[in-house]
């Protein structure tokens, strides 16, 4: 928990400060210093166009984190209200929403995300949109389940019986119950989103070169697999550590709140 929290915080700080502390312009080419091994001047070496890998990693952090955050918030923005409507609304709304969720969840997640990305063509924006659109149904179902469980608790029923308004009930009684598991899932899902988005970027569906992004950097490095190992290690380790941070944070939150097996 502590480790995960600190690591997440550190990564956020690096992502924010990245462009500021980067030693060089991540985009500036320097064809005389192509594929340089890491040394005192270029701490993480240079890539096939002579760009400083360290600077690209630092500047890419923001992109990776932001896009994961955007995809998660996007999914939450649709999923949570939908879950509440299904859980608290009338039967028709519940039935319709549940059917739609069933259909969306019948697709393998990555496949649906990919198909949705394809609709508008490869770009970071469509990738985020696609991933978000594929993920919302999971959240809707998750929130619906939790709301239904929360609603069954005796003191919530009591509240209903006392005639409290819906908004008040949600805020005072239901939200506190579903918040802990929700936070855990958000943290774990942020890690997963980072994997998904960087995977799809690696395949060339996301942000387009020359912008610095970890998935793209790995995509460009694969041609130099044997000759320039550092090109592949740096972004790979960066992604893994960031995902690890979110996962540790999620696990820690889970232990802390005492949430049992979710997600």
CA separation for the pair 19, 259 (Å, rounded): 38
Q: CB of residue 118 vs other proteins: minimum separation in angstroms?
A: 4
Q: CB of residue 225 vs other proteins: minimum separation in angstroms?
A: 6
**Nearest by Cα to 250 from 160, 185, 168:** 185
Site size with other proteins, rule: CB under 8 A:
47
CA separation for the pair 233, 228 (Å, rounded): 9
Of 175 and 232, which has the nearer Cβ to other proteins?
Answer: 232
Answer yes or no whether residue 191 interacts with other proteins by CB under 8 A. yes
- Each residue 100-139 as x (binds other proteins by CB under 8 A) or -, in order, gives x-xxx-xxxxxxx-xxxxxxxxx-----------------
Sole window of 26-34, 63-71, 174-182, 241-249 interacting with other proteins (rule: CB under 8 A)? 241-249
CA separation for the pair 149, 45 (Å, rounded): 54
**Nearest by Cα to 171 from 159, 181, 185:** 159
Q: CB of residue 38 vs other proteins: minimum separation in angstroms?
A: 17
CB atoms within 10 A of CB 105: 15
**Nearest by Cα to 73 from 197, 214, 182, 190:** 190
Could you list the residues that contact other proteins (CB under 8 A)? Answer: 99-100, 102-104, 106-112, 114-122, 191, 195, 198-199, 202-205, 215, 218, 222, 225-226, 229, 232, 235-236, 239-241, 243-244, 247-248, 251, 261
């Amino acid at each position: 928990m502590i480790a995960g929290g600190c690591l997440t915080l550190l990564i956020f700080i690096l992502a924010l400060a990245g462009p500021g502390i980067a030693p060089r312009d991540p985009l500036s080419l320097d064809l005389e210093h192509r594929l340089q091994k890491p040394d005192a001047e270029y701490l993480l070496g240079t890539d096939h166009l002579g760009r400083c890998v360290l600077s690209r990693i630092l500047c890419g952090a923001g992109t990776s984190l932001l896009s994961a955050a955007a995809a998660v918030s996007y999914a939450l923005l649709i999923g949570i209200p939908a879950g509440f409507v299904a859980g608290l609304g009338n039967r028709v709304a519940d039935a319709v929403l549940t059917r739609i969720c069933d259909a969306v969840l019948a697709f393998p997640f990555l496949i649906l995300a990919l198909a949705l990305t394809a609709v508008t063509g490869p770009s970071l924006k469509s990738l985020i949109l696609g991933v978000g659109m594929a993920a919302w149904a999971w959240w809707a179902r998750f929130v619906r389940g939790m709301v239904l469980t929360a609603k069954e608790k005796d003191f919530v029923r009591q509240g209903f019986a006392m005639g409290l308004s819906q908004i008040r009930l949600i805020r005072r009684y239901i939200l506190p119950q579903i918040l802990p598991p929700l936070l855990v899932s958000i943290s774990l899902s942020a890690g997963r989103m980072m994997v998904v988005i960087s995977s799809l970027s690696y395949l060339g569906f996301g942000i387009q070169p020359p912008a610095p992004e970890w998935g793209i950097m790995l995509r460009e490095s694969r041609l130099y697999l044997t000759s320039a190992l550092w090109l592949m290690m740096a972004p790979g380790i960066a992604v893994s550590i960031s995902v690890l941070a979110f996962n540790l944070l999620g696990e820690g939150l889970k232990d802390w709140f005492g949430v049992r097996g979710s997600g």
